[in-house]
Amino acid sequence: MILDWVPAHFPRDAHGLARFDGTHLYEHADPRRESSGNGERSSSTTDAGKWRTSSCRTPLLDGQYHIDGLRVDAVASMLYLDYSRKPGEWIPNVHGGNENLEGDRLSQRMNELVHERHPGAITVAEESTAWPAVSRPTYLGGLGFTLKWNMGWMHDMLSFIEKDPIHRKYHFGQLTFALLYAFHENFVLPFSHDEVVHLKRSMLDKMPGDLWGKFANLRLLYAYMYATPERSSCSWGGVRPVEEWDHDRPLSWELLKWDTHQGVQRFVRDLNRIYRDVGALHEIDFRPEGFEWIDFRDVDNSVVSFLRRGKDPDDAVVCVFNFTPTRGRSTGSASPGPGDTARR
């Protein structure tokens, strides 16, 4: 279990932490710092200079619940003084820049404490900018997170997969661009609840085509995510793909009476098993030697192929993905259909 830790902002409700003792106990007193940096006027930005990192340690202590790590929300609003603010609504730091020095140090200290006291735990940053070295050690000047969400990959991939397959060849850069910067950080590829709420549509509804095509594209998307370098993350809203995520309602387990929905569940289960058992898919996730393109230029057929390599140079997996709804040509060797991968 990964627990959300949200030091960046909190609700302004009267029954919440805002002005808890009648003073600005946790938030900024200056309105140029107090208004939320996450774009929501209903919440306040935490004063990182006051926040105690001990609040992140308690959930990780051995006790009734086992917590594997922390996912820190809205890290960008902790790092930039002008995040989601207009000119005149923020105050520069002592050096005249827009970096939040207290937020930077809070992130570093939190990660130092977690990794020092709980060596097996991970920390994940939901950070949407190009802030350098988010997942690099603090002694090298990084923020110290184990992983960073690859928001660019997520947006590009959803934009690409939502297109009708006949148009995908004109947008192939959205599929391949992420591999240009994939090893700059320890990335995780996220399909979170944020992508299936507030009328953004369910994962299934994002897919083009008829019902068969929607499920085929969804399997293709998940298979490509697992085969791509970096870690993968898929929320419950993705595994139950037919409706938007709603925290006020239970999961729609009754959908499993349909073979199509059972198929998605089995498919994700099998992907997890394959990913765990096949070393080439995870042993060298964050270094270039774990990945090698075979062909990314077949845009007319929307087919990509690449190698994933393990620590043993002879341990390699060939992955082939067909992003069209056709199964190949009449040449005797058909290309795989949507969602198919080939292993050698």
Please say if 73 is a catalytic residue. Answer: yes
Return d(Cα 251, Cα 140) in angstroms, integer: 43
On whether the CB atoms of residues 320 and 342 are closer than 8 A, the answer is yes
The active-site residue, picked from 126, 127, 156, 185, is: 126
Give, in degrees to the nearest 5, the angle at Cα 231 between 135 and 301.
Answer: 125
Q: What is the 3-state secondary structure (H, E, C) of 227-296?
A: HCCCEEEECHHHHCCCCCCCCCCCCCHHHHHCHHHHHHHHHHHHHHHHHHHCHHHCCCCCCHHHEEEEEE
Among 167, 121, 147, residue whose Cα is nearest residue 324: 167
The active-site residue, picked from 27, 73, 127, 185, is: 73
- Which residues are catalytically annotated? 73, 126
